[in-house]
Structures are given as structure tokens and as C-alpha cells.
């Protein structure tokens, strides 16, 4: 699980596994494509919802636009005996155009329905007519959630033989059949039955990678008057390049400003940084997705004039500025969801974002043009290690972004604790966050003092804590944090003894239950290193009566060590926790839970000191 701002990386809420919540009795997709510019898509879904955990599956929603029109809809709700409870019609649907974007063609037709009892069966049947935007056909995905089984599902696609239709499969145990239904028309069909439910498991691959899916797309397409090919990623790149060609012209005043800003700089890297900072000062992210604007960026001149753009427009604007000062760069499409693109199945829908690649002689920079708060060239968590398509006049090229080594995603803590005979303590905390751990803590930079105080109370587990001198500084992809903490009751006093917590951070770890029936291999999406150096000074006249034992655990997925040394009134403690990203055999899951238990216990230990 990804590390969040408040909790340590190994901490997470107690994991709940529900029993089966629904059965997809019937799932049918029937597509008729009469030409490269039109496809009529008919859907039928019959779902039996077994309990309250599946209640959300009772609602209906579909995406529409001026080129994707809902032409029919009906629904039916029946109880366990087959008795009709409610009939639903198109007038029951509501329309929402709410979107985080400034302007967008898309809208949703939806119906919120709450089942009055369980089990209940809901049937939805609807038709979408798509014109002039047939980049792909509906994806076949009969399962959409955990704890849902599928009884029967079918897909059919009729298309002219003159259209070359391609498909790709994921986690699907059957094949697509192709047959001729006339001299001019071909039929693609797929039938599946009795798909078992997917169980949600801790530390498993994300759901979208586990679902059975089949994608369908035409090789050659017409999209809002443009023509392109998806024969391979190179052809896809040629089409994308045709959309940005000629959009890199800048106003003369801007061109002069760019040269004044960069002509005296010595290196291309310095010039890139100067222009990246200018991009952050003069623009903001606002998406406008109208018509082909969902794929085609606004021109550099328009972004310069308005001061806003989406990922496409801002990346193209940065590309234009770099071109003006003689630095080549490549418009690059990428997914913030899919880590891997299908190498042999080019399609537009696999990507949802655009960044900029700047191939300098000694380094390749990846610029996130939508978030100037990130340091130049920092590869953030949503794209690190992801496949991408580099777009140029030569076509598209499948590339992979770098990922930071696990040990460089560092949180280093230096903590000094001065303890009084009454159990009070003064703490000095200095922490350094690097790379992904830095990224997790960026929100702290914008917090006011009050909110930082609240956050520190959750990060530092000290009773009756009073914080002061909180300081946060940012240095590239690194954050430095320091604070003073006073606690009137840090240690628990019992007679002549004080029970002293060893570590005031890394608390709240939850250990998942071991499972002998685990289905998925272990998947750790991110790796990191937590290193803590704690110096505890105990009062004069006290000695250590009991101290924890040193710990050393090494596993393929992680390693952990705890060492403690006593030198008079000074106790030095060192923790080191390295988690390794990657996939590991599910047979190691009992070792994983045991490892977490060891870590939790080591962080929650106490030292017992006694008055002489």
C-alpha cells in the first residue's frame, strides 16, 4: 500500500473481507459498427444483489457526449420470487455535467436506486449511438468489483470486413471467435460462464490488473475528422504527432522574453529549469475537453494568452518554449493508472495523461507540466516506472520511466529525548524525507501552524505533547522537518521505576491475519527505507533495569534491524526498516505477517529504568 501522510508505510486499517455480495446473472454487449464513423452499442445487465455490501451495484450510470447519445433505456427490479417491484424508464434518469474540468463535452446519465430488501435482482438495458469518434469499441468486463461472481456473459461485434478489428485479452480463459455473417460483414463473439468472485486480499495487485478483460479496437479509424492507425505504437504516435504539429508557434513578445531569460545561461539544464519555473509562474492547470480537444492540445499561443491549459496544452506549451531556445523535447502520453501498456495492442484509451520528455546529452528529464510545485525532473509516484509513448515526427516509441531505488525513498529521523525523574521529557526531532516519502509530505508545506500542530500530534505519539519550533524546508525532492516537543508524561512511573517508550514515532501498526487460502502473490507497489537514530538521556541516579533485545530479520521482501546500546546515562537506539518493491510468492505470506508483527513489537517496546 502506498504510504500516506499520517500513517507509517506498514500501517493500515484493519482489513475486512466480505462474503459474496452479488451475482451477475447476465452481461451482454452487442455492438454493430456500420462504418468507421459509427457504432451502435447495446447493453444488458442482470445482477442479483445478495446483501447490503453490494448495494452500490443497484445504481445505473453511463457516460455520454454529443457524439455518444443514449437512445434507449429501461430497467426492472424483481424480488427473490421474481415478483416485479419496480419498472424503470428513461424519464427516471438524471443528467449530471459536473466535472473538475473547465469545459467538457461528456456528461453522465444516472439513476440512484436503494434496494428495499435482499436478495434483489436488477435488470438494466440501454443503447448508445456513437458517431465520428470510434477510436475503440466497448471493453468486455463482466466483473467490476470484488466479491462478485458471473453466471453468464457474452460479447458480439458486427463490423464491415473492410475494417481490421483487433483485440487483446487479460485474465480470460476463452478465445474470441470470428465468423462471416454476410459477404461484407464479419462477427466477433465471446462467451464466458461461471466466473468465480475475486477476493480482496491485502498486499495484492490492484483490482484493474486482476479483472478478466477483453479490449476491441479498429486498426484504422476516423476521429472528429482526423484519420489515423492503431496498427502499432509507432502508427499511434504518428497520429498523435499530427494533432500537435504546428501548435508550437509563440507570440513574438514571448519569444523575446524567453531569450532574455535563457541566453546568458551556460547549460541546457539551466535553461530547462528557468523555463519550467516560468511555466509554473505564468500558467495553471485547467482542462478543456471539447470535441477533439479530448485528444488535441490547445496551441502554445492560446495557452500563453489565457494562462491555463490541461496536461496536453501545458506540455505542448513547454515543448514550444524549449524549441524556441534550441532544446528538443518529446510530447509523451502515459497512464497514471496502468503501469504497463500492452506492447502489441496500441490503443488511445490506455493512456490518460501527457508529460514532456527532454533528452539532454547527460540525462533524460521527465517534466510534469501540470504540477509546478514538484521539482524539475522529479518523477512522481503516479508515473514512476510506468510505460509511456514518446511521440515525435518519426512516430510513437514505447519507453519506460525510471523508478527510484527503494533505499532512496528515505525517511531519516534523529530524535533526542531528555527524561526527567518524574517521567517528563523534552524531545528534539529532526527528519529528512526523500523522493517518494518527500512527495507524501508535500501537503505539509501548505498547512498553517494550527493544522501542522494537529498533524504532528498524529505523527509523534507522545502523551500530553506540546509542540514548538516547527520548521519545514524543501530542497529539491527532499524535505527537512524539525520540531521541539515537551511531554509531561512521556514515561510511566511505578514506584522507583520508569517505563520509557523507545520510539515516539512509527506507532499504530496493524498486522494482517495469515491466510492459508491466499489466491494472489504478494505485491508491494512501493519500496522505502525508514531509518531512526534515537538518543535517550535518563536522569542521574537511574540505571537500566530491563532493555529490549536486539533484532535482525532478513526476508526477500524486507529487512529490519533494531539495536540498542547503553553507555552510562545515555541510551542509543537504531532502527532500520527497508521494504522492497516487487512481486513475491504467495507462499511467503505467513513470513510477511510474522515480519510485520516483529516490526510492530520492536517499535512499541519500552525500557525499564530504576532509581539506584
Q: Does residue 101 register a pLDDT over 50?
A: no
pLDDT level of residue 386 (50, 70, 90 thresholds): very high
Q: Cell 512527495 sits at which residue?
A: 439
Q: Does residue 102 register a pLDDT over 80?
A: no
Mean pLDDT of the chain: 92
pLDDT at 523: 97
pLDDT (tens digit per residue) in 170-196 = 999 899 999 999 999 999 999 999 999
> What is the pTM for the complete model shown?
0.90
| Beta-sheet pairing, 284-285 with 308-309 | parallel
b/e 221-258 (16+ beta carbons within 10 angstroms → b): bbbeeeebbbebbebbbbbbbebbeebbebeeebeebb
Helix (H, G, I), strand (E, B) or coil at 477: coil
pLDDT at 455: 87
Q: How far apart are CA 297 and CA 284, in angstroms?
A: 15
pLDDT at 1: 29
Q: How far apart are CA 565 and CA 548, in angstroms?
A: 10
pLDDT level of residue 285 (50, 70, 90 thresholds): confident
pLDDT (tens digit per residue) in 240-270 = 999 999 999 999 999 999 999 999 999 999 9
Q: Are 208 and 364 contacting, i.e. CB atoms less than 8 angstroms apart?
A: no
Q: Cell 533495569 sits at which residue?
A: 545
pLDDT at 372: 77
Q: Cell 517528563 sits at which residue?
A: 424
**Higher model confidence: residue 231 or residue 451?**
231
Helix (H) or strand (E) holding 476: none
Q: Are 28 and 154 contacting, i.e. CB atoms less than 8 angstroms apart?
A: yes
What is the mean predicted confidence (pLDDT) over 532-536?
Answer: 98
How many Cα atoms within 13 Å fall on the side-chain side of residue 410? 16
pLDDT (tens digit per residue) in 580-607 = 999 999 999 999 999 999 999 999 999 9
What is the mean predicted confidence (pLDDT) over 201-213?
Answer: 95
CA-wise closest residue to 28 among 169, 191, 222:
191
Amino acid at each position: 500500500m502506498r504510504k500516506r501522510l499520517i500513517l507509517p508505510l506498514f500501517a493500515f486499517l484493519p482489513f475486512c473481507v466480505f462474503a459474496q455480495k452479488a451475482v451477475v446473472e447476465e452481461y451482454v454487449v452487442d455492438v454493430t459498427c456500420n462504418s468507421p464513423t459509427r457504432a451502435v452499442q447495446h447493453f444488458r445487465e442482470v445482477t442479483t444483489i445478495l446483501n447490503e455490501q453490494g448495494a452500490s451495484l443497484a445504481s445505473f450510470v453511463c457516460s455520454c457526449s454529443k457524439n455518444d447519445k443514449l437512445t434507449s433505456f429501461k430497467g426492472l427490479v424483481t424480488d427473490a420470487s421474481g415478483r416485479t417491484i419496480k419498472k424503470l424508464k428513461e424519464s427516471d434518469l438524471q443528467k449530471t455535467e459536473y466535472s473538475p474540468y473547465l469545459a467538457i463535452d461528456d456528461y453522465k446519465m444516472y439513476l440512484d436506486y436503494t434496494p428495499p430488501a435482499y436478495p434483489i435482482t436488477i435488470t438494466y438495458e440501454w443503447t448508445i449511438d456513437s458517431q465520428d469518434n470510434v477510436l475503440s469499441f466497448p471493453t468486455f468486463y463482466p466483473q467490476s468489483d470484488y466479491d462478485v461472481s458471473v453466471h453468464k456473459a457474452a460479447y458480439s461485434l458486427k463490423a464491415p470486413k473492410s475494417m481490421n478489428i483487433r483485440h487483446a485479452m487479460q485474465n480470460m480463459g476463452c478465445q474470441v471467435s470470428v465468423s462471416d455473417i454476410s459477404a461484407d460483414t464479419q462477427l466477433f463473439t465471446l462467451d464466458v460462464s461461471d466466473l468465480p468472485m475475486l477476493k480482496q486480499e491485502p498486499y495484492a495487485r490492484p483490482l484493474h490488473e486482476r479483472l478478466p478483460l477483453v479490449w476491441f479496437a479498429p486498426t484504422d479509424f476516423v476521429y472528429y475528422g482526423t484519420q489515423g492507425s492503431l496498427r502499432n505504437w509507432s502508427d499511434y504516435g504518428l497520429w498523435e504527432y499530427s494533432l500537435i504539429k504546428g501548435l508550437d508557434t509563440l507570440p513574438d513578445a514571448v519569444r523575446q522574453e524567453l531569450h532574455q531569460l535563457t541566453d546568458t545561461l551556460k547549460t541546457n539544464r539551466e535553461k530547462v529549469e528557468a523555463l519550467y519555473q516560468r511555466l509554473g509562474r505564468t500558467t495553471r492547470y485547467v482542462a478543456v475537453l471539447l470535441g477533439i480537444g479530448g485528444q488535441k492540445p490547445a496551441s502554445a499561443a492560446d495557452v500563453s494568452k489565457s494562462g491555463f491549459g490541461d496536461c496536453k496544452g501545458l506540455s505542448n506549451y513547454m515543448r514550444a518554449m524549449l524549441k524556441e531556445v534550441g532544446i528538443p523535447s518529446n510530447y509523451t502520453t502515459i497512464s497514471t493508472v496502468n503501469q504497463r501498456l500492452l506492447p502489441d495492442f496500441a490503443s488511445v484509451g490506455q493512456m490518460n495523461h501527457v508529460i514532456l520528455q527532454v533528452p539532454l546529452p547527460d540525462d533524460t528529464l521527465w517534466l510534469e507540466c501540470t504540477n509546478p510545485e514538484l521539482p524539475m525532473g522529479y518523477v512522481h509516484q503516479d508515473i514512476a516506472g510506468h510505460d509511456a509513448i514518446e511521440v515525435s515526427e518519426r512516430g510513437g516509441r514505447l519507453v519506460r520511466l525510471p523508478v527510484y531505488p527503494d533505499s532512496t525513498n528515505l525517511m531519516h529521523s534523529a530524535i533526542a529525548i531528555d527524561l526527567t525523574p518524574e517521567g517528563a521529557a523534552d524531545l528534539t526531532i529532526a527528519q529528512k524525507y526523500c523522493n517518494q516519502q518527500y512527495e507524501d509530505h508535500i501537503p505539509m508545506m501548505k498547512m498553517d501552524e494550527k493544522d501542522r500542530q494537529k498533524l504532528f500530534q498524529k505523527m509523534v505519539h507522545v502523551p500530553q505533547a506540546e509542540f514548538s519550533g516547527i520548521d519545514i524546508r524543501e530542497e529539491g525532492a527532499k524535505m527537512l522537518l524539525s520540531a521541539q516537543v515537551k511531554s509531561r508524561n512521556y514515561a510511566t512511573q511505578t514506584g522507583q521505576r520508569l517505563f520509557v517508550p523507545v520510539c515516539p514515532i512509527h506507532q499504530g501498526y496493524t498486522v494482517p491475519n495469515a491466510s492459508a487460502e491466499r489466491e494472489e502473490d504478494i505485491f508491494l507497489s512501493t519500496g522505502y527505507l525508514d531509518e531512526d537514530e534515537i538518543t535517550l538521556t535518563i536522569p542521574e541516579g537511574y540505571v537500566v533495569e530491563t532493555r529490549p533485545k536486539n533484532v535482525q530479520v532478513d526476508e526477500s521482501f524486507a529487512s529490519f534491524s533494531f539495536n540498542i546500546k547503553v553507555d552510562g546515562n545515555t541510551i542509543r537506539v537504531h532502527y532500520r526498516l527497508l521494504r522492497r518493491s516487487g512481486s513475491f510468492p504467495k507462499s511467503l505470506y505467513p513470513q510477511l505477517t510474522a515480519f510485520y508483527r516483529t516490526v510492530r513489537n520492536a517499535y512499541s517496546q519500552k525500557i525499564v529504568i530504576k532509581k539506584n
